[in-house]
Amino acid sequence: MSLAVYIMSDLKNDIRPLEASTMTDQVESRLREYLKRKSFVPGDALPKEQELADALGVSRNVVREALSRLRMLGMIDTRKKRGMVLTQPDILGSLERVLDPLILGKNTLKDIFELRLVLEMGLADLIYLRKTPEDVTELETIVAQEVNKQQKPFRVEHEIAFHGKLYQMTGNDTYMRFQKMLLPVFEYVLDYEIQVNGQADVGKVTHQDLVEILKNGDAEDFRRGMKAHLKPHFDRLKA
Amino acid sequence: MSLAVYIMSDLKNDIRPLEASTMTDQVESRLREYLKRKSFVPGDALPKEQELADALGVSRNVVREALSRLRMLGMIDTRKKRGMVLTQPDILGSLERVLDPLILGKNTLKDIFELRLVLEMGLADLIYLRKTPEDVTELETIVAQEVNKQQKPFRVEHEIAFHGKLYQMTGNDTYMRFQKMLLPVFEYVLDYEIQVNGQADVGKVTHQDLVEILKNGDAEDFRRGMKAHLKPHFDRLKA
DNA sequence: TTTACTAATATGTAGTACATAACTACTAAT
DNA sequence: ATTAGTAGTTATGTACTACATATTAGTAAA
């Protein structure tokens, strides 16, 4: 019996069950293809639901389910009577929906944790390309407020404030939003690790030090500083 | 008249039209909330559509549209008769759907271009944490095949092969897939830039050089090398 | 030209109906 | 005891109909 179970689960990994694509899936794909081929620009009106249904040879129901998906992704916008119009999809909006620590698998969580470290390490070049004196001043203000507030809730708050400002300094909105989305996942993994391994360590290089580097050092110095700042996290990966 | 138009567009920025959330939107949100609160684990069966519809006080149609969205995101899996089961969402699957250079705005494309550069620069630490001699050997093979193939199609192919292998060496699947998804966008922006500014430059540090660094240098050396390798792209950002 | 009213219509939602895949339980056969 | 076959059950997938409502377009009035 246990052998049978083993074979079962083994099979499941080797050949995964083929997903019978439903009409809705196909219609979604067709619509996407159609939008691309017709090279619609944002604002253009799409055919009405019934016309699409007729053209595709399916019920309006199916078309609506497919459209509902595209609408969720922000690819189309529907207003009564006027029809649907193509819009700029919000690429991160869809990510936001699934990036919930509670429903993500352990492996994915770990991957995302690492991904954020990578993003943090790659920050330097963009920052040095675009930082302004005002940015640095603002960072100093943030750091100044950190003193004497090492307790848990404040700690996290300041982490977010400081690193959030760094992302903002890159001048890259997508990057900034992406990083901020990753934060809850990051925290989640961190909390978990702390629970298992004891207290969270802090790198030798502080926020204060990083600001100093920003004022006097170059991009490479900053990256080295960031590496040291994140060292406890990198060390965790080795284990 | 032009004043009216101005006021209009000004208004649109100040107070954006409140999106009348449809039943489907609300149901989607409720379902998501429900899944979280009940802390379902992958494999658990969900109530049947009609039950959900009754409980929510809406038609099965609405429930199905909402479920269709979650299904697209890979959050649930439906099989006839058995009902629906919660599954691990594929966080990148949804991104893949909207990451089409043709429908993304110019700003977003630029953001993604930069994001990829950032990711490439952050590669070093993970690689040095996990690279094996076999990986390096494989990279050498890839580089060896590059000689005398500088024409366009081959060039791109080898870029993908080389950098793809680097991502793989990080041992981070999410990272790898993410990078690969960004590739088409990257290429698109590149092609566009080339069309405007003339030929694409190549950094002084070649793939060959990077492999050498992998063999003899440390993570910092590698990052410096990568920076030099990507220099033309970073220079473009300055302009 | 602007405002007010009217008609037309595409979407949003509800409801019914049914084919089919997939599960269960049972029986028969090896 | 396992496999194979059979029949019954049922939840999903799909189609069709119907209608309320928001929004547009057209028309009349100021």
Model confidence at B150, pLDDT cuts 50, 70, 90, reads low
Task: Collect all residues of chain A within an 8 Å Cβ-Cβ radius of residue B228.
Answer: none
Asked whether the whole model's pTM tops 0.85, one would answer no
Q: Does residue B4 surpass a pLDDT of 50?
A: no
Looking at residue A195, its pLDDT comes to 79
Q: How many CB atoms lie within 10 A of CB B146?
A: 18
Q: Are B172 and A73 a contacting pair at CB < 8 A?
A: no
Q: Does residue B62 surpass a pLDDT of 60?
A: yes
Do the Cβ atoms of B74 and A69 come closer than 8 Å? no
Looking at residue B36, its pLDDT comes to 83
Q: Please, is B82 exposed, middle or buried when counting C-beta atoms within 10 Å of its C-beta (0-12, 13-18, 19+)?
A: exposed
Of the residues A62, A67, A103, the best mutation for testing chain B's interface (the one with the most B CB atoms within 10 Å of its CB) is A103
Percent of chain A exceeding pLDDT 70 equals 83
Looking at residue B74, its pLDDT comes to 86
Q: How far is the CA of A90 from the C1' of C16 (A)?
A: 38
Q: Does residue B13 surpass a pLDDT of 50?
A: no
Rounded to 5 degrees, what angle do the CA atoms A35, B31, B72 make? Answer: 30
Looking at residue A4, its pLDDT comes to 42
Within chain B, where are the H helices?
Answer: 2-14, 23-37, 49-56, 60-72, 91-98, 106-121, 123-130, 133-144, 152-169, 173-197, 207-216, 219-229, 231-238
B227 inside 8 A of chain A by CB? yes
Q: Are B223 and A224 a contacting pair at CB < 8 A?
A: no
Residues of chain A with pLDDT under 70: 1-20, 80-86, 147-154, 198-201
Pairing of strands A76-79, A83-86: antiparallel
A52 CB closer than 7 A to any strand D atom: no
Q: Does residue B90 surpass a pLDDT of 90?
A: no
Cα dist from B9 to A177, B13, B17, whole Å: 26, 6, 12
The residues pairing with A76 across neighbouring beta strands, listed in sequence order, are A86
Q: Does residue B17 surpass a pLDDT of 60?
A: no
Q: Rounded mean pLDDT of B227-231?
A: 94
Q: Are A102 and B39 a contacting pair at CB < 8 A?
A: yes
Specify the nucleotide whose C1' lies closest to residue A52 (CA).
Answer: C10
Looking at residue B85, its pLDDT comes to 62
Looking at residue B14, its pLDDT comes to 44
Cα dist from B39 to A184, A193, B33, whole Å: 18, 21, 10
- Tokens (6 digits) for A14: 């080797």
- Tally of residues, chain B: 239
Q: What is the pLDDT of residues B92-144, one digit of tens each?
A: 887 888 888 877 888 888 999 999 999 999 999 999 999 999 999 999 999 98
Do the Cβ atoms of B215 and B109 come closer than 8 Å? no
Do the Cβ atoms of A166 and A123 come closer than 8 Å? yes
What secondary structure does DSSP assign to A192-207, as a single string?
Answer: HHHHHH-SPP--SS-H
Q: Does residue B81 surpass a pLDDT of 80?
A: no
Q: What is the pLDDT of residues A23-37, one digit of tens each?
A: 999 999 999 999 888
